[in-house]
Structure 1
């Protein structure tokens, strides 16, 4: 019997050495969780045996339990490197349409040849679909799908309104010549802004200001050096082009405009010759407030001509410039035209019993009966942790502790080997008795 006891001790010591060695081997494996060998004693007795004199029958390995404590965070320069702080796992599938889901804490993701986000073993990262405002439309694992970064350019938006804030010089003289936009002597001041048509092509829109009388100014508009009509404008250049009239009070405040809505006529194919929408019109918004002066209106003070705000709402064609991933897992594509597009929200998965997960290699696990059912959710919601972009979760192995455990396991192995040797010597002595 003593042989079996010593042999079980050797097996347990070997198992301890194996577990410790595996932990040490994976000290630099991203997302790795250390394991701990757990042992129980063996005690067997018959119904009629005396428990007072019974000796134990050795040791057994009860479990090799993984420890899911948080690993340290290492920051990187890759936006697709992801680390979970707190509870949760990333979900991946081996094929786009596969239902064979694996779970991992290793966030070393990259793009494949089809611009899908994948890990080093080719697993596709799953995410929830999102609405245009970035809110999740569903947080069920069954509705998640592989996350793909678009290769198409951001769609352009044609300019519909230009917001203008400026000061017109109260001391300017009335021009002596009839307005001609090609002659600077026929107008007092001008300013320009870049606008965009429906195809994202840029055009220069220029505004010309001509002092008509004290506290009264006319404004003509041109696109790409071609004058455009402002329907309903009270002033005409004699060639069918109307201008708007801007009026100021004696204190320099903006108090009237004619027409009430200053909007150009359709720009037409003559200006938009590239096939863009010829019906495009542009509102020139001076933020007129008929209830009284406000800080966004133009002014007429005794100072220089100054444009303090000139904004338009159009967008050029945007090129993909980067990917941003928030702590809530929302993946946004950013474009060169200043726009952002929400693409997906990275799915996080939790389990009732993490230690019940089945290890499948590649720092991944699969659901089992012991682990409980996979529960999906958003990062930062409920018990789920947050996601750090440009960061990786390091192995939670403490190398100092493992080296101490390695020495302890070695001593245990030596001690059990010695017990086995003593048992052998005793048996040899008995056999030699005559």
Structure 2
């Protein structure tokens, strides 16, 4: 009996030594889970009875149980190394056989599949070409081809326009009328677009000069007028004698000349140009003259009546009732003009004249815009282009209370787009500095549908150009895009009393890129990094968990297979449900406590020696009995 008891103890101690030795041997094995031998005692019993004083028959190994406790996580230099922080197993495809492992030392094989050191393929959720993850599980594969370029279809700009900026640009209406275009006693009413009160002026009665009318009109705010009187001496119509002209009169006759009754010394004059110089040097600084072909034009810039007489002594040729011209300039605050005179020529001319821009926007002149910001956009071939947004402050609309107005100009590679070479976009901000609308659109979006991508020489570069029908472009631009049209979104723009600043600027285009590295997120998504700064999801690692982890069967290579006792796996994405998260560039170390195992080794050795002593003692007792003969 003692022999069998000691022998069972030797066997159990030997198993304990084997288990402890295996733990020690795998103390540095990634993902290894330590085991512990479990023992049970043996008793002999008879049929229907266990006997009265049973004596044990020794010990037997009931099983070897693995501990699936979390191991330490250590960092590595490989981007595809992964450690599970929490519950779960990696799913591996071993030539059709499904295995489960905690060892996350992964790499890429020649076909781009993510594999472990034994070539088993890692299972996960695949992604489409745009990086959208699907619910389909399969072997994860790294696409090593170049990333195709993506054209810009959306640009979001978040800027603050400084409300303290001054208006740089002025728009004026310049008119030239004659005294006959006004009626004596006519009342003109000026209305202002900034909400100021209307103003009225009255044309004098009687009308005596252009200067008199100009003085009356200049009384209105924002209006400037000047009068000019012009006398034209036509060499044909105003001849001294039949067949004579002013030119040959100067050359052949003794010419006499007077202005407003004051004679001029023209005795030495032989040409029209010399006569014009003498008149311009006349004592009255407002009077000047110039030659127009064979004719002579005499002007008085004060707008006062002008009388010119000339002749050869035997006859004179008076030029009176000369033309009076009024030049009127109004700045952009004057909206409309009304008159109480039926058919007023001034009103008709003013209301049909477009403003002339003074200090108009010029992209190469920083004095003509308040703010500018640039960003890079891309065409369908992946070529980079510089888009610049210019902001010009305008006078406040309405009465100037509760609203502010800015003009927005757009350029790509120095050429205007969005039709802003003709008409800029109008951005309206409310009293809180928030964008209210752009060209009446509350979304704050600008659709640019006239951009032609060009090369550095200014020729079209072969990329997609504008759509055939620009009015058909909608926002957001549908995928896949078929033209160069894109949307500029300024909905987050503000106008506060702070310095101009670009808070954020995002666009969705990029040039082509080569694979430069891989990253793994906490939820197991594998991202490819490209040389163009983009990243694209290639897939997501799948994890599995079991109702009874202890029921898994180890099959070597730090992997397990499913058994009836373990139950079927529950598969999902990392960091969902009870599944743990993923630590990238890391591995899970063995959970073996080497110090404890060394102690267990001593205990197992002591147990083995003790059981051997039992056999030795039994042998000695047996020998004693034999020696009794």
Question: What's the TM-score bracket when you normalise by the shorter of the two chains?
Answer: 0.7 to 0.9
Which residue of the partner structure matches residue 222 of structure 1?
A: 411
Residue 384 of structure 1 is aligned with which of 576, 579, 593? 579
Indicate which of 373, 382, 398 corresponds to 1:200.
Answer: 382
Among candidates 450, 457, 462, match of residue 266 of structure 1:
450
Of 143, 152, 163 in structure 1, the residue corresponding to residue 145 of structure 2 is 152
* Cα displacement string for residues 371-419 of structure 1 (whole angstroms, at most 9, x for unaligned residues): 2222212323333222222322221112222122111111111111112
* Selected match of 1:328 from 485, 502, 523: 523
TM-score between the two structures when normalised by the length of structure 1? 0.79
1:175-214: per-residue Cα shift (whole Å, max 9, x none)?
8678776x63894465533221112211123456678989
CA distance in 1, matches of 2:360, 2:591: 81
The SS at the match of 2:423 is strand
SS of residue in 2 equivalent to 1:331 = strand
Give the equivalent residue in structure 2 for 1:296.
493
CA gap of 1:249–1:92, structure 2 versus 1, over 3 A, is closer
TM-score normalized with structure 2 length: 0.57
Distance 1:199 1:298, change over 3 A: farther
Cα distance in structure 2, aligned partners of 1:351 and 1:249: 60
Relative to structure 1, the CA distance from residue 14 to residue 243 in structure 2 (aligned partners, 3 Å threshold; closer, same or farther) is same
Q: How far apart in 1 are the matches of 2:89 and 2:489?
A: 51
| CA–CA distance in structure 2, aligned partners of residues 79 and 56 of structure 1 | 57
Provide the secondary structure at the position in 1 that maps to 2:17. helix
Moved more, 247-256 or 322-331: 247-256
1:281 partnered with 2:481 = no
| Partner Cα distance (1:224, 1:258) in 2 | 24
**Is the partner of 1:315 in helix, strand or coil?**
coil
Q: 1:48 to 1:399 in 2, by over 3 A?
A: same
Q: Deviations over 1:83-128 (max 9, x none)?
A: 2222211111124xx2x01111111122223332211111111112
CA contact (8 A) 2:574 2:582 kept: yes
Q: What's the CA shift string for 1:114-149, capped at 9, x where partnerless?
A: 3322111111111124589988643xxxx5211122
1:299-348 Cα distance to aligned partner (Å, 9 max, x none)? 8x8x98x4535735242124444433333323333445554433322211
Query: Is 1:20 aligned to residue 12 of structure 2?
Result: no
For the pair shown, the structure with the greater C-alpha radius of gyration is: 2
CA contact (8 A) 1:93 1:126 kept: yes
Gaps of 5+ in 2: 171-356, 398-404, 467-483
Gaps of 5+ in 1: 234-240, 288-294
Given that residues 187 and 209 in structure 1 are in contact (C-alpha distance below 8 angstroms), is that contact kept between their aligned partners in structure 2? no
C-alpha distance in structure 2 between counterparts of 1:328 and 1:59, whole Å: 48
Give the superposition deviation at 1:362.
Answer: 0.9
Please state whether the residue corresponding to 1:90 is helix, strand or coil.
strand
Matches within 5 A, 1:30-429: 30-47=30-47, 51-95=51-95, 98=96, 100-129=97-126, 137-138=134-135, 143-163=136-156, 165=159, 166-167=161-162, 169-170=165-166, 172=168, 184=365, 187-188=368-369, 191-207=373-389, 220-228=409-417, 230=419, 241-244=421-424, 246=426, 263-268=447-452, 273-279=460-466, 280-287=484-491, 296-297=493-494, 306=500, 308=502, 311=505, 313-317=507-511, 318-337=513-532, 339-429=534-624
Number of equivalences:
407
